[in-house]
A and B are shown apart, each in its own frame.
Chain A
């Protein structure tokens, strides 16, 4: 929400949450001990005091490489934002979505139906067995159960857990206690009636409590990991900069990133070409009362639009994402489908009453292609995750650790980045999402290997990056202004041209000479079709955005400490 002042950071009074460590009825010894311990400590101090920050959540101590270089990583493509008939605006069976994801090459998916009163009451119990069934039917696809959480005071977010004995219980307790839809719905409507609107600022403390709740589930051992990614963050301007910082700081092992590119990438296809003629990403909004006032359309930019299909916060060099990274703290970006209804698919939603049953019922096959705004999972958007194996835990650890590349239209098949000290310091170096160190005044080498697409994308074209940008900026430490959303020192330091004739893997290197201060770097690439005069993505035009002719990838950063 919109507020500049920071009087919302206090811990609000916790409700008892069934099935959590707060649940006094839960008498398992570990839970009792944790509860006693945490209650005495105050949840805010938990992470650091227990020393339980995952290795990936970067500590302040330099000299410990994170995500050490280990050769060419294996990439697993996935999508953390997928809807089914258990969303009031969705339609597909879980099985259909998983089968389509698999058909389009995905290794992992997260089922994320919208949170809310009906979903919490009726849908969770139904989707869980459907997910179990899909796992059995497609043993080569990881199917996570998640939720599209209405973040109190803000936008939506993916929240998900690995399969486990308590997964469903945790998700259910989380949604009942902390979903913005549930919290803002009046008691008479089955909600809690505790906040004014799902996006109003009085929800902000609940968002922080919610993330601490998830972190506590990890600390208590009820789940091994839980992750949250903020979805379509700029769409309505309701995710304020201080909210990102608040989420990240409240639960650094859980709140780890955001959609760098939203779904609904087909929505901007011109009506004249058989498309919906809407905004790419369905990003067609204007500021509302809960928007952050700093996110305002001006003569130079419109934060409420996508740029080359990516969210403004990610697409703008020196913008909000960079302002978070310039603090020297992790915050990762992804790309998802947000598939509700797929463009040119023949299904339409079933006639089920979602309000009273939690389901639209089975979709109806009209036999006629429908004009919609979404692509199937994997058809256009991919989140590539570097992981040791295709297992539920390894993929989530990869995401938590930022070994993530967001790709559109198969612009690349993989990206291998090695950043290392050439002098004293970490000579082995680290890869994407990592943290390395160098002796002050010594050189840092960046070695980039781009795996070009080995085949056609789903538009039938073998895409090719025309350029790869190396972007870097100083690490300036924790932001004094928690609502800052600019990193003026972050720039494109070099653009590498990819030869038109290149095949296979292309390699680039760059050396930062005589490094004097901590910095971070990241990569992005473009097919070169739509660039501003200075090489940046162009604001997408409503009703005139062919996604296949404007492809980008964004890789997550590497931090370089100076010792």
Chain B
């Protein structure tokens, strides 16, 4: 297994979930169990990059065509794609679009179950303590974040006495997204 990084060409204005689905479509046929997005702030304008943990042979040229931008396997280069690959490997930052166990987290689960069945290390309540029996209503959309080597699911109180992931699938888009 290794990590790769990429700088995809992305539509500007359609929301993160839409972008996620485009990214995952590009990874069709690639054995990738982690796919994360990162923000590369080295240049004058921030760029969204992607990392993925892949297994076996990957047709990098095909993947680059599908993503519409450069793809590179993990190395020490000072490029956005290489920085993304390293950030993915280190779980240093970014958000997980795909992660091990994600497919098991489509309904309402206890915090203990979330951690037990997936790569999520901790369920972190925003402003509230989370006990193992607290219920997390995923609404079929779970985007944990990586912070300093850990995979965290940030949740907040929601209607009905449950917790919900802080990142929603369809946040309000104002005025066409300007």
- A residues with a Cβ closer than 8 A to B are 1-3, 7-8, 87-89, 114, 116, 150, 156, 180-181, 184, 196-202, 235, 267, 270-272, 277-279, 282, 284-286, 288-290, 293, 297-302, 304-305, 539, 541-544
The residue that B39 contacts in the complex, of A2, A267, A297, A301, with Cβ under 8 A, is A2
- Give every chain A residue within 8 A of B174 (Cβ-Cβ): 89, 156, 235, 282
Is B127 an interface residue when CB atoms closer than 8 A count as contact?
yes
Is B115 an interface residue when CB atoms closer than 8 A count as contact?
no
- Give every chain A residue within 8 A of B47 (Cβ-Cβ): 289
CB of B23 to closest CB in A, whole Å: 14
Report yes or no: A200 in contact with B45, Cβ–Cβ below 8 A.
yes
* Selected A-B contacts with CB under 8 Å, 9 pairs: A3-B46, A7-B44, A150-B178, A197-B45, A284-B168, A286-B166, A297-B166, A299-B124, A542-B168
CB of B6 to closest CB in A, whole Å: 15
The residue that A284 contacts in the complex, of B46, B143, B171, with Cβ under 8 A, is B171
Residue in B closest to A544 when the chains form the complex, CB atoms: B159
Report yes or no: A286 in contact with B159, Cβ–Cβ below 8 A.
no
The residue that A286 contacts in the complex, of B39, B41, B171, B176, with Cβ under 8 A, is B171
Interface centre among B48, B126, B143, B168 (most CB of A within 10 A): B126
What is the CA–CA distance of A202 and B143 in the complex, to the nearest angstrom? 28
Report yes or no: A285 in contact with B178, Cβ–Cβ below 8 A.
no
Report yes or no: A299 in contact with B125, Cβ–Cβ below 8 A.
yes
What is the CA–CA distance of A196 and B176 in the complex, to the nearest angstrom? 16
CB of A124 to closest CB in B, whole Å: 16
Report yes or no: B176 in contact with A201, Cβ–Cβ below 8 A.
no
Report yes or no: B166 in contact with A270, Cβ–Cβ below 8 A.
no
Interface centre among B39, B46, B154, B176 (most CB of A within 10 A): B46
Is B89 an interface residue when CB atoms closer than 8 A count as contact?
no
Report yes or no: A543 in contact with B168, Cβ–Cβ below 8 A.
no
- Give every chain A residue within 8 A of B48 (Cβ-Cβ): 289
Report yes or no: A542 in contact with B159, Cβ–Cβ below 8 A.
yes
CB of A342 to closest CB in B, whole Å: 16
- Give every chain A residue within 8 A of B29 (Cβ-Cβ): none
Give per-residue flags for B63-75: 1 if the beta carbon is below 8 A from chain A beta carbons, else 0: 0000000000000
Report yes or no: B158 in contact with A544, Cβ–Cβ below 8 A.
yes
Residue in A closest to B49 when the chains form the complex, CB atoms: A289
What is the CA–CA distance of A2 and B41 in the complex, to the nearest angstrom? 8
Interface centre among A267, A288, A304 (most CB of B within 10 A): A288
Nearest 9 A/B pairs, CB to CB: A544-B159, A282-B172, A286-B167, A543-B159, A289-B46, A285-B171, A284-B171, A198-B178, A289-B39
CB of B177 to closest CB in A, whole Å: 9
- Give every chain B residue within 8 A of A89 (Cβ-Cβ): 174-176
Report yes or no: B45 in contact with A277, Cβ–Cβ below 8 A.
no
The residue that B126 contacts in the complex, of A181, A270, A298, with Cβ under 8 A, is A298
- Give every chain B residue within 8 A of A299 (Cβ-Cβ): 124-127
Report yes or no: A278 in contact with B172, Cβ–Cβ below 8 A.
yes
- B residues with a Cβ closer than 8 A to A are 12, 16, 39, 41, 44-48, 124-127, 143, 154, 156-159, 164, 166-168, 171-172, 174-176, 178
Report yes or no: A202 in contact with B156, Cβ–Cβ below 8 A.
no
Residue in B closest to A271 when the chains form the complex, CB atoms: B159
CB of B48 to closest CB in A, whole Å: 5
What is the CA–CA distance of A180 and B177 in the complex, to the nearest angstrom? 12
The residue that A542 contacts in the complex, of B44, B143, B158, with Cβ under 8 A, is B158
- Give every chain B residue within 8 A of A301 (Cβ-Cβ): 126-127
Report yes or no: B126 in contact with A3, Cβ–Cβ below 8 A.
no
Residue in A closest to B126 when the chains form the complex, CB atoms: A302
Given A88-B176, A286-B16, A302 and B127 touching (CB < 8 A)?
yes
- Give every chain A residue within 8 A of B175 (Cβ-Cβ): 87-89, 114, 116
CB of B83 to closest CB in A, whole Å: 14
Given A279-B172, A299-B126, A541 and B46 touching (CB < 8 A)?
no
What is the CA–CA distance of A282 and B174 in the complex, to the nearest angstrom? 9
- Give every chain B residue within 8 A of A305 (Cβ-Cβ): 156
Known: A1-B46, A278-B172, A297-B166. 11 other contacts (CB 8 A): A116-B178, A156-B178, A200-B45, A277-B159, A282-B172, A289-B48, A298-B124, A300-B127, A302-B154, A304-B166, A542-B158
CB of B12 to closest CB in A, whole Å: 6
Report yes or no: A293 in contact with B126, Cβ–Cβ below 8 A.
no
Report yes or no: A300 in contact with B126, Cβ–Cβ below 8 A.
yes
Report yes or no: B156 in contact with A539, Cβ–Cβ below 8 A.
yes
CB of B14 to closest CB in A, whole Å: 12
Residue in B closest to A198 when the chains form the complex, CB atoms: B178
What is the CA–CA distance of A1 and B175 in the complex, to the nearest angstrom? 19
CB of A303 to closest CB in B, whole Å: 10
- Give every chain A residue within 8 A of B45 (Cβ-Cβ): 196-197, 200-202
Given A286-B16, A298-B126, A200 and B171 touching (CB < 8 A)?
no
Residue in A closest to B156 when the chains form the complex, CB atoms: A302
What is the CA–CA distance of A7 and B43 in the complex, to the nearest angstrom? 11
Report yes or no: B164 in contact with A2, Cβ–Cβ below 8 A.
no
Report yes or no: A3 in contact with B16, Cβ–Cβ below 8 A.
no
What is the CA–CA distance of A88 and B13 in the complex, to the nearest angstrom? 15
- Give every chain B residue within 8 A of A180 (Cβ-Cβ): 178
Report yes or no: B46 in contact with A290, Cβ–Cβ below 8 A.
yes
What is the CA–CA distance of A300 and B126 in the complex, to the nearest angstrom? 5
What is the CA–CA distance of A305 and B171 in the complex, to the nearest angstrom? 12
- Give every chain A residue within 8 A of B41 (Cβ-Cβ): 2-3, 293
Given A114-B178, A289-B39, A201 and B44 touching (CB < 8 A)?
yes
Residue in B closest to A196 when the chains form the complex, CB atoms: B45
Report yes or no: B166 in contact with A541, Cβ–Cβ below 8 A.
no
CB of A547 to closest CB in B, whole Å: 15
What is the CA–CA distance of A8 and B168 in the complex, to the nearest angstrom? 33
What is the CA–CA distance of A184 and B13 in the complex, to the nearest angstrom? 12
- Give every chain B residue within 8 A of A7 (Cβ-Cβ): 44
Report yes or no: A285 in contact with B156, Cβ–Cβ below 8 A.
no
What is the CA–CA distance of A299 and B128 in the complex, to the nearest angstrom? 7
- Give every chain A residue within 8 A of B16 (Cβ-Cβ): 286, 288
CB of B41 to closest CB in A, whole Å: 6
